[in-house]
Structure 1
Amino acid sequence: MPAQSPLNILIVDDEPLARDRLRTLLADLAVQLPSVVVGEAANGVQALDLLQVHTVDVVLADIRMPGMDGIELATHLGRLEKPPAVIFCTAYDNYAVQAFDLNAVDYLLKPVRAQRLLAALQKVPASRPDGTLFARIGQEIRGGGRTHLSCHERGRLLLVPVGEVLYFKADLKYVTARTAEREYLLDEALTHLEGEFADRFLRLHRSVLVAKTALAGFEKAAGDDAEAYGWALLRGVPEKLPVSRRQWAPAKALVKSS
C-alpha cells in the first residue's frame, strides 16, 4: 500500500503550553498518522494570516481566545474555496461543543489525550466546517456577533473589523461594507447582518444598515426625490444614506438620545 501523505496541521491556541502539548502529541502519533505542523497562531486573526501562505488539511483550534475566537475562525474557514477541517481543543464541555460533534466537526477536551487526538484526526477527510452553524452558535456563546467579516479580493481572504464598519449597503447579490478608508464587497445577506449585529447597526432603508455611532444628523429629501424620504449624514465620510419614511422617526430619535 502507498505511504499515507502527512496531514498539514495548523495549531491555534493563545496558550503556548497548550500548543507545545499538541506538537508533542502529534510527534508521538507520527508512526500511526504522519503529520506536519505548518504553523502556530495565538488567535483566529493570526491563523487566517498564516492560511494565506500555507496549505492546511486540519486546524486544531481552541474555542476561547482573545482577538478572534475559534468559533469565529471556523466561520471564516468555511468561506474558503477549500476549507480545512476543524477540530476544537477546549476546556469547555457544553451544548455548543456537542453540536459541533453532531455536525461532523470533532472536539477534544483539555488536557488532550493522544488516542483521542488520533481518533479525531482519522476523521479529518470527512470533516469540513459549517460556517452557518458556527455563526449561530458563536453568537450564542459570546453574546454577540462576529468581530470580523471576511471577503475575497484578488485571490486573498481579507478581514474587515466590524467595529470599523460605518454602514452596509445592499446592491444586487452583494453587500458593500464601508469603513473610513474604503469599501469591501461581502457575500452576506443584509437581513442576516441586521440580526447578528442588531445592537450595533440600525436599519435606515430596505438596502441600508448604518452603525449607530456613525450617525451625525439628517436632512429631509426634496419633494420629488423618489429614492428616499430623507438622508442620513455620517461622521468621517461624505456620503449620505437614504432613509425610508418608516425609519425616519426611529433614526432621528436615536441621534437625539445619544
Structure 2
Amino acid sequence: MPVNGNLNILIVDDEPLACRRLQVLCHRIESIAHVAVAASGTAALQHINDNLPDIVLLDIDMPDISGVEIADHCQQMESAPKVIFTTAHSRYAVQAFRLEAVDYLLKPVKEVLLIEALARAGEKLQRENRKAAPDHSLWVRDGETSLQIRSADIERIEAERDYMRLCLPGCSYLIHESMYSLIKKLPPDMFVRVHRSAMVRRDMIGEIRRKGRRQYAILIDGNQVPIGPRYADAVVTVAR
C-alpha cells in the first residue's frame, strides 16, 4: 500500500463479532497506525467530527443512524474521510457509490478484498494531499527547452558529480545544483535523505530491507536505494 504506516481507521458496526473481525484484519495491515471502533451511528459521527479519521469502514443497518446518513455527512466535510461500506446487504450498492464510497464489501468481509479497498482509499488520500499541498516546482533544461516540474512529481533525487538527477515516472532530468542547495528549494516534509548522494520522496518508500551489513530502501516502483548509516534512523521512521 502506498500510505506508509499512518492510516487512522474507524470501524462503525453495531455487531460485535463483525466489528471484531474487521479489527483483527486491520491489525494485520502495516499501513494502518490506529484502529478505533464505534458501535452506533451517534458514536461514529462524534468520533468523525472530533478525530477526522482517514478511512471509515461503515456498516449500513444500525439502529440509530444509518451508514448512508453517516456517509452523506462525511461527503460534506472539508477533509472528508474515505468510506468503505461493509454490510450484509447488496441492495444499497448503487446509493453507496452515489455517495462516492471507495468500495462496497459484503460480510463476511474477505481479507484480500479489504486490503485492496484500503489500498485504493490510501491512493486517493495521497492524490488529494498532493493537490492540497503548495505547488513547489523546479525549472529544468530539456535540450533547448526549459520545463517546469512539480516537486510532488519527483520520486527520487540522485547526485551525479556536480549535477543532481531528478527521477520522475518514466523520465529524468539533470540540473546543475548541489544537494545542499536543492534541499533548501524543496518542501521540507516531502523528501527524506537516505544517503549523502540521494533523497527519496517519503511516500515512495515501501519497506526497508537488510542485505548483509547494508540497509536498502525498497521503493514502491521496485527500485532500491542504499541507506547511509548516518540517515538510517530517519528513513526507518518514515517507513513505519
TM-score under structure 1 length normalisation? 0.44
